[in-house]
Chain A
Amino acid sequence: DTAVSQTPKYLVTQMGNDKSIKCEQNLGHDTMYWYKQDSKKFLKIMFSYNNKELIINETVPNRFSPKSPDKAHLNLHINSLELGDSAVYFCASRRGRAGEINNEQFFGPGTRLTVL
């Protein structure tokens, strides 16, 4: 069984479009994250959600909005896509609430977004 899954795996779209990436975890984890891996392979955290509450909102454009319909899902919606949004986006999850920090993060397979 896949622990953290993302759809789609690849996403190619035009500038200006709105798109969503879905993430689901079947681990019963409390906290979920979105990361962006740029062309230089550097991973940077974008958001985290704990029990439907946004904990971290790094300095990402407000065109990016995380949406969590329930504890097992954290979707990433992107408005007005730009060329610079091209990257690989990873979803992750971990057990425990914000204060329970010493738990591993488990990552999804990634979504490669290409904006033309």
Chain B
Amino acid sequence: KQEVTQIPAALSVPEGENLVLNCSFTDSAIYNLQWFRQDPGKGLTSLLLIQSSQREQTSGRLNASLDKSSGRSTLYIAASQPGDSATYLCAVLTGANNLFFGTGTRLTVIP
């Protein structure tokens, strides 16, 4: 059964720092991996989607990488801003159209 883990569970950084969030999954037979952002009391916002054949995707200050064989993905955030404070979730899409979510990393960017 697919299990998705995110480390660390919580992270606090001063504004301006670059940071990396980690995601690992146990079954490498995935179709794609998606990174989401969730603000307190709000829904999920899709940030990046990496297909299984891709190694990375970039959007603005965000860069996500995927190493499918080792079951790992990272989300790199450059020049962090207070507005980046949120919970970041990774999710992998497996067969039967199942999207398995990780446990999330709660990011706080301190002004």
Contacts and interface: CB of A to CB of B under 8 A. Distances in A.
Interface stretch (B20-28, B43-51, B60-68, B78-86): B43-51
Interface string B20-41: 0000000000011010100001
B75 interface: no
Given A90-B44, A108-B43, A101 B49 contact: no
Given A41-B104, A43-B89, A105 B99 contact: yes
Contacts of A33: 99
Given A41-B87, A42-B101, A43-B101, A110 B42 contact: yes
A104 B97 contact: no
A98 interface: yes
Contacts of B96: 55-56
B43 A56 contact: no
Contacts of A31: 97
B97 A90 contact: no
Please tell me the size bucket of the interface on A: 20 to 34
B93 A101 contact: yes
14 contacts: A41-B103, A41-B104, A42-B103, A43-B89, A43-B101, A44-B101, A48-B97, A55-B96, A90-B43, A92-B44, A101-B31, A101-B32, A102-B49, A104-B34
Interface of A: 4, 31, 33, 40-45, 48, 55-56, 90, 92, 98, 101-110, 112
Given A45-B99, A110-B42, 18 more contacts: A41-B87, A42-B101, A43-B91, A45-B98, A45-B100, A48-B97, A55-B96, A56-B96, A56-B97, A101-B31, A101-B93, A101-B97, A102-B32, A102-B51, A103-B49, A104-B34, A105-B99, A107-B46
